Structure formats: C-alpha cells, structure tokens
Amino acid sequence: MSTHETRFFARALVLVALTGVILSMGTASAAEPRARDLGIPFPGTPGPLNAITDVAGVEVGYTTLIAGDGKLVVGKGPVRTGVTAVLPRGRKDLSGVFGGYAVGNGNGEMTGTIWIEESGIVGTPILITNTHSVGVVRDSVIAWMLQHGGTEQLWGLPVVAETWDGYLNDLNGFHVQRDHVFAALDGARGGAIAEGNIGGGTGMHTFEFKGGTGTSSRRVRVHGIADYTVGVLVQSNFGRRSQLQVAGIPIGRDWPEDAPFTKESGPVNELGSIIVVVATDAPLLPTQLKRIARRAAMGIARTGGTAGNGSGDIFLAFSTANSAAATATESLQQAAFVPNDRLDGLFEATVLATEEAIVNALVAARTMTGIDGNRLVAIDHARLQEMLRRHDRLVTDRKPGR
C-alpha cells in the first residue's frame, strides 16, 4: 500500500470511528457484472476500462455514507448518501481545462457554470452529491484546493452538481461534511472505478429501480487526424418505469412491479435528475465542448428519458488537451482543435457512452432500504436478460470482465 493510500485509509477509519458511517473508496469490484457482461449489446468500441478513466489523467474518488435503519429522524438518519469527485488532470495537477456545459432541463444545480460559460475554463475538481449538500461540498473543495497548492486564481468557483436522494436518505440531516469531501478528493485515482450504490449515487434511483453511479467510454478515430477517447460518468437518478428502454427494447412497460413513484402518483411528474460528466483527450475549444455536452441528452433519450419538468439534467464536458493554452495567464497562446466538420464521431461517442453508463449504473446497483423503510429494488439481471433474449437482443458469447 502506498503512502497516499495509507493516509486515505487512516482518514476513512477515523471517519467511521467518529460517525458510525460506512465509508468506501472508488475501487472496482470484479464480483459486480456490468451491462456488457450480461450480454447487453451496445454500439461502438469502448476503451480498455470502459470508463471515464480511459481518458488519460482523469481520476475519480468516492465517499459513501451509509448508516442506520428504520424511521426517519432528521439529523440522525437513516443515511444513504455520499460524494463523487472527478479530477480532470488528477490530484497532482489542479490546473484548468477547456470546458463547456449544457442543460436538458434546469430543475437542478451545478455551481460554477456562469464562469465556465464566460471563460470556457473548468478550474476546479468536479463534485457530485445530494441536493442539500451542494453548499458544504463547494466550500470544502476550496479548502481542499488551498491545502493542495491553491486555486487557479486567488479565488475559486468550484463545480458542484446534485441529484435528490430524499426517498432513501435523511436529506435534511446534512450528513455530508468537509472530511467526507476531502476523503473523496484524496482517494481519487485512475483505473477501473466502482459503480452503482457508491459516492454521490448511493441513494439514487433510475427508472424507479435502484440506480446511482455509472461510467463508460468510446474510442473514436477522427479521419485524417488521430484516435481519441471519450469517457462519461453519470449520477443517474431519473425516469419513470414505463419509460425504460434497454438496447432499444421497451423493458419498463412489462415490468410494473416495485415502482414506488408510479404507485404513489402515477406514471407522470418526473421528480428525478441526472448529472453527466464527459471527458475527452481530443483537442476541442470551449464552444465545441458545449456542443459535446448537449449530446448527453441524446444518450439519456436512448434509455427512455424525456427531461421532465421536475428533472435536473445538467451536463459538463471537458478536454484534457491544450493544457498550456487552458492555463495561461499571459502572452499570446495557441490551441489546436478538431475542425467542426470532424466532430460527428465525438458526438456519437458521447451519446453512446452516456447510454451505456446509465445502464451500467442500473446493472451495478443493489437493492437498498432507507428512511421509513422506503425501498428501491435492483433490476433483476436474469429477468432483464430473458426479456432481451425474447427480442433477439442478447449477445450470448460475452466473457465476464470490465
């Protein structure tokens, strides 16, 4: 174990001792199958990890908070929440990247976007948590950056996004604290990353199944230029059951059981959200990255999402290329970029990776019970496979692996 890992686990043990909360970091679990392992077909060629961390330098960290059972007692629990951290250039390089953001439906929050729109720069790590913890996470990011070499300027405008986990979590108990944010940032790393009930996705749903965190990637050959990678991470917390589509098949229509929101108020009135973070090593300008971000909505639509009135569908795209130009403060700068006429492959990669990341979140998630006995059931893998098989949409020669 490295010195950094030793420090991280020491911090985790202290948090558990002080709070009684389960805290986990973002390593992958080989025991958890992913969508492709079940034989679900997806177009396109993924990177070796099929994750946002296929984009060189990108690191992801999690803090997962799970404590208590039974009746809701505000301030005590039950707790089913957490924090996800995405560092575009990793913990050792906090310099800015070119970026752009887009909104599918605006009933949600992502701080820092006014400056991204103005400057085209994402100058801090990207954090995702629950709706009522955005403030403490934002302030904690600034404190963490000051301890690790300062912010991009003499000030920082952190990017913190949210989705609502109040069906399972004591949302008004404000259980996410500074140490939890620090642990997610300190624990960030490359390589395979965990999905499902982890980090900010701990208490989330997807099409009324248990949902959460998911990731995927695509390799893209831009004709006459080079090969690039597009990676996506989602915090998936949206959709009504009847809308769900997997591999183009309307799975949700024939799966009405254990759909608590539909049972409560019918098949309309979307009250969920989804945050999509898109990373690429392709050299792109901020205006082009905004166009990339917009394509995440099409990936959501491929799973059945419709960006309902109550949904916060917010997307951020960044490029790790052009590091000198993105961080310069003086002198004339030059930036390379893919011509607009060569962006289509990157657009498609964003759509396809977003779709697969959502399904990966569904497949990885496990049944969870939270406040007042509220329960979100994990999608049944065998039943899903059988439904796809009936439509000749199951690939049967998959070998387990990430």
Please list the active-site residues: 273, 311, 313
* Helical segments of 195-339, H only: 260-265, 286-294, 296-302, 323-327
Pairwise CA distance, residues 281 & 259, whole Å: 39
In angstroms, what CA-CA distances link 40 with 15, 243, 350, 351?
39, 18, 18, 17
In angstroms, what CA-CA distances link 168 with 77, 115, 346?
10, 33, 36
Peptide bond into 78 cis (omega under 30): yes
Strand partners, 22: 66
Neighbours of 221 (CB within 10 A): 11
Residue 362: φ, ψ to 5°: -60, -45
CA-nearest of 66, 37, 106 to 397 is 37
Neighbours of 95 (CB within 10 A): 14
The answer to whether 360 and 215 have CB atoms below 8 angstroms apart is yes
Rounded to 5°, angle at Cα 250 from 392 and 266: 160
Tokens of 54: 């296929």
